[in-house]
Chains A and B, each alone.
Chain A
Amino acid sequence: MKNIFAILLIAFLFIQLTAFEKAGDFKLENLEGKQIKLSDFQKEGLVILDFWATWCVPCKNGLPKLNELHEKYDSVNVIAINTDKPRKKSAAVSHIKSNKFKFQTLFDPKKVVQKQFNITSIPHTIIIDQDGMIIYDHTGYQRGDEKHYEEVIIKWLKEQETKKLETEVQQN
């Protein structure tokens, strides 16, 4: 019994060490009832996933700032994933539409995606790059947090620029 436990423990530690932070694909319904896939947006650049609910005040405070980032950067797509119970869906739709937010809003009524990204508290913001790697992960929203998101975006844009230049040099 002790041996089995030791094997399991070591295997678990090994899994923790080898686990790499890669976001798996998912598909959820948007405001219009259409099924949207994460991978469709990854092709365009960075994806900011934001988990929110109508009863969570900091979540609602963060949404206008995320909308600003979505509109400011062409290569950044914000996807707001609503975690309200289905009976509150109409309130969530009304909040998004009345504020005229431009980003994608998806609904996760069966918590499949919340589980996939290990969400235990909201708001929760995750930034995923083109290769599907999670490059930023943050729980909570306080005024000014959007500046940290923007720092990550700017750093990533600079890296892309450098990569592009290196490729051009190699080709020449």
Chain B
Amino acid sequence: MRKIFFALLVIIFAVNFLHSELNFSGVDKRKFVNVNRIIENRNYFVDKLQVQALYNQFRMGLKFDYYKPHFDKFLLITNDMGDDTIELALESEEDEYYFDEYYLQYESDNWFVQAGTYEAVIGSGIVLHNFYDDDFELDSRLIGGYVNPVYDRWQIQLFSGFMESDNPAPAFEDEYDQIGAFDIDLNIVNNITFGGSYVLHREVIAKDEFNDRTIYAGKLNFSSSPLDFQTEYATSNDDNEVTGTAFYSNFTSYIGKFTLMGAYKNYENFNVRISDLPMVNHAGQQLEHSWDTGKDEEGLMGEIRFLPNYENEFVINYAEGWNNNSKVRLSNLYSEFKHNFEEWSIEAEFELLEQLNKEDANMWYQEITPKLTFDFLIKNSPVLLKAEYQYKEEDKITGNHSHFEPRVQTDIAIGNYSLSVAVENQIGESESAEDGDDGEYWIGGEIATTIFNNTDVRLFYGKEKGGVVCRNGVCKNQAEFDGLRLSVTTTF
């Protein structure tokens, strides 16, 4: 007991001593989920606690994750799966707890140094982008060291680290890829920045066995008030003598009330995990769902944006993508008109997406989405009405299927409470596992509020489809869901 008392005294003394310079902050995200898994309604609980301490120019952070059990939101469970298959799939969801992140950073006027878990990026991400995405549960973060001197005319990134292998085989559970990188940016002339980088990626292929891949890249950026221009080229070679190339370029020109934008991509054998390749289309879609991004593709995109005045905005965007024999293709058209008043606004959007794959699958897919959004105030309470009428058509060896997916959403906020309700229906049959059956409804509602000034509470109940969902003024990438979800986020 005396030892505990003594330890507490030491902690209190230390914190008080450092109080003027030491700053603690953090966030605790707790989520309780009760989800329909067809054979049973399953309960899940997750707590993600992130704490950081700031002392002068040093910052130390820790993140602890606790799952009981781990909810695999992307685990696709459908009615046509047998009970045994579902049970087997659910067995993979186990209780887990671990330190997800730990780091120490030092930042001065010209130096940024860190050790531990970190995200890294070179240029637009073509060469390297190691990141964590909570919504999609993607994790390519590095554990290692990072040094970044930054001066007016130049900056360097020098880092190395370990990245958890994405090979799902049990033998790779504790195996790591190794990465080392050097990147330099030189701002020799005003508005123009040149850069070059070198990356060594050692991909683990068996215990103590690696496939070494080296990447050399160059980049050029030009920025001015009438024109922005960016271009990047990278070439890679690995132990298997596979040579890859990636070229990405874009320009934006600001001419009075018009903004003109163009982009071009050309990727070959660049379908690797550490690259985050620009898609070069408004929908952000890969060439075709079963086609590896970066394996073999080329594409162009153009956009015209017209803002005649503060109230009106017109956008039209068109993109085409193809592989080297044009058997895999994508086309995407997006247009938007927005009119803003002081107290309300109206936005009309239209999007067409077409994908074709005659290379390794005989399929054609089309998606047409008209959308209308009204946003206004009733006695200081914001109201949002959104309606879309999506049409999907698919032509495969198994036949042609088409269906409509009308969706209506309304959000209203009164005082400290916000309520959002969305109804989506399917008219027509579909073979795709992500879609539902003819006549199926997805009805879901969320109530959100803030308590104690620092705690955000959100309660969702019902069914919703996946994708970017903007509800009660907050946007998230959601996976398909059916059940109850309570999330409580406290910042301190």
Contact = CB atoms under 8 A, between A and B. Distances in A.
Given A85-B131, A97-B254, A137-B454, A115 B50 contact: yes
B472 A142 contact: yes
A121 to B, nearest CB: 5
Q: Chain A, interface size: which category? A: 35 or more
A19 B490 CA distance: 13
Given A33-B221, A98-B305, A122-B475, A57 B470 contact: yes
B75 interface: no
Contacts of B284: 55
Interface in A102-132: 109-112, 115-116, 118, 120-123
Interface in B101-156: 105, 107, 109, 112, 118-121, 123-126, 129, 131-132, 134, 150
A14 B13 CA distance: 12
Contact of A18 (B19, B125, B250, B473): B19
A172 interface: no
Interface in B168-191: 187, 191
B185 to A, nearest CB: 8
A144 B382 CA distance: 7
Contacts of A120: 27, 29, 134, 489
Nearest to B376: A143
Contacts of B112: 27
A14 B120 contact: no
Interface of A: 3, 6-7, 10-12, 14-16, 18-22, 24, 26-27, 31-33, 35, 53, 55-59, 61, 64, 85-90, 93-94, 97-99, 109-112, 115-116, 118, 120-123, 137-145, 147
Interface of B: 3-4, 7-8, 11-12, 15, 19, 23-27, 29, 50-52, 54, 59, 61, 105, 107, 109, 112, 118-121, 123-126, 129, 131-132, 134, 150, 187, 191, 193, 221, 223, 225, 228, 230, 250, 252, 254, 259, 261, 263, 276-279, 284, 303, 305, 307, 310, 340, 344-345, 373, 375-377, 380-382, 384, 411, 413, 418, 448, 450, 453-454, 456, 468, 470, 472-476, 489, 491-492
